[in-house]
Amino acid sequence: MRVLGIETSGTIGSVALWEGRVVAEESFQRGLVHGKALVPTLARLLEQAGWPKSSLGLVAVSQGPGSYTGVRVGVATAKALAYALGCPIVGVPTLEAMARNPSPSDLPVAPVVDARWEQVYTALYEPGGRRVSGPRAVRPEDLAKELPERVYLFGDGLKRYRALFERPGVAFGGEDEWTCHARVVAELGARAFAEGRRDDPLSLVPLYLRPTEAEVKAGIA
């Protein structure tokens, strides 16, 4: 099955084509330019691979959390494409895709993504990938108190908050593990689809985990 993977939740976006393996992947430049870069990159990658849009069997999209604007752009584009093609769509939690970044180890892993407003997005996963808790937005001070004794942390939230987590038993990943990748989104989407998951292209929504800034300012959250 030919799968299109879309990731726009972070500062580096990407698109991938997957068919039992990674066929192609291309990243956008830094700077949250996803609204301008996504569709041209998607079209170019399909053309280079010789895949007509009609040959797609599944669209998998990183559903969030992350940049509100970035996630909204990715999900909206994926929904429009899936609806137009009559193609199945699956939303993949961004933190779940990120949890596949670290090299295999015997430690549980927890992405720590800067959510602004003095919070981080996080979830805890067993070494085999099963989610133990989350996803959620939480104060880093509170997260530090709740983490298991031994754990592997990674993500851009460590730029600001690493000192809160430093203690024996905590290992930290490098910056090369901080980015969510469309190829992983595509693979996880294909796996979920094979297990019987389907999302409605009309009702699939971003996973924000908390009210948007606009909702807070408007007093509706």
pLDDT at 60: 98
Q: Which residues of 143-157 are buried (b: 16+ CB within 10 A; e: fewer)?
A: bbeebeeebbbbbbb
Helix (H, G, I), strand (E, B) or coil at 170: strand
Whether residue 219 is predicted with pLDDT greater than 60 in this model: the reply is: no
Least confident of 19-28, 163-172, 207-216: 207-216
> Each residue of 158-188: pLDDT tens digit?
999 999 999 999 999 999 999 999 999 999 9
First to last CA, the chain: 41
Closest CA to 109 of 52, 200, 178, 51: 178
pLDDT at 129: 87
